[in-house]
Amino acid sequence: MPRAKQEAAASYQQCPARNREAPLPPRLRLCLVVALWRPRYHRAVRRLVKLAVIALGIRALWSWRKRRRAAATGATPAPTSADPAEELRRKLAASRDDEAVEETVPTPETTVEERRTEVHEQARTTLDDMNPPDDES
C-alpha cells in the first residue's frame, strides 16, 4: 500500500499541472486526474470481486442447507401405486370413459349439402344488406 501512495505522489510531483497559478489546459488536467485515480482503481475492482465471491458463497451455503434439510426429513416422493401396469390400466379406462361421453353428442340431422346451401344463402342475404341499392336517378 505505501508503495502505491509513493508512486502516486511521484507521478503527481512530475505532473506539470501542479502549478495552480494559470488555468490548466485539458491535457495537463488529464495528467492530474490519471495520477490521482490510478492507485485507487484496483480497490474498486477488488471490492467488487470480493462482494461477488461472498454472494456466491452465501448462495452455495443456502442451497447446501436446503438439500441437507430435505434429505433429513425424507422428502422423497412416494410411489403412487405398487404396480405401474395397474396404473396404466386405470388411465386407459379413464380415457375410454371420456371417449364414450364424446360419442353421445347428437349428430346434426341435415346433410352436408343442405348445410352448405343454407350457409351460402345466409352469406348472400348478409351481402345484400351491407351493399346499398344502386339508385339510377
pLDDT for the residue 74:
75
pLDDT for the residue 77:
55
C-alpha–C-alpha distance, residues 64 and 32, integer Å? 50
Residue at 119 is within a domain: no
pLDDT for the residue 99:
66
* Type of residue at 129: D
Residue at 55 is within a domain: yes
What's CA 36's distance to the chain center, in Å? 41
C-alpha–C-alpha distance, residues 6 and 43, integer Å? 16
How many domains is the chain built from? 1
pLDDT for the residue 38:
62
Low-confidence ranges of the chain (pLDDT < 70): 1-23, 33-41, 75-81, 99-108, 135-137
* Type of residue at 97: D
Residue at 133 is within a domain: no
C-alpha–C-alpha distance, residues 86 and 102, integer Å? 25
Range of the domain at 13: 2-73
Residue at 117 is within a domain: no
Residue at 63 is within a domain: yes
pLDDT for the residue 43:
80
Residue at 101 is within a domain: no
pLDDT for the residue 26:
72
Check residue 76 and give left, alpha or beta (phi > 0: left; psi -120 to 50: alpha). beta
**Whole-model pTM over 0.75:** no
Query: Which cell goes with 10?
Result: 511521484
pLDDT for the residue 29:
74
Other beta carbons within 10 angstroms of residue 24's beta carbon come to: 16
pLDDT for the residue 65:
94
pLDDT for the residue 1:
52
Residue at 15 is within a domain: yes
Q: Which residues are CB-contacts of 12 (< 8 A; sequence separation ≥ 6)?
A: 18, 32, 35, 36
Residue at 135 is within a domain: no
Largest CA distance in the chain: 105
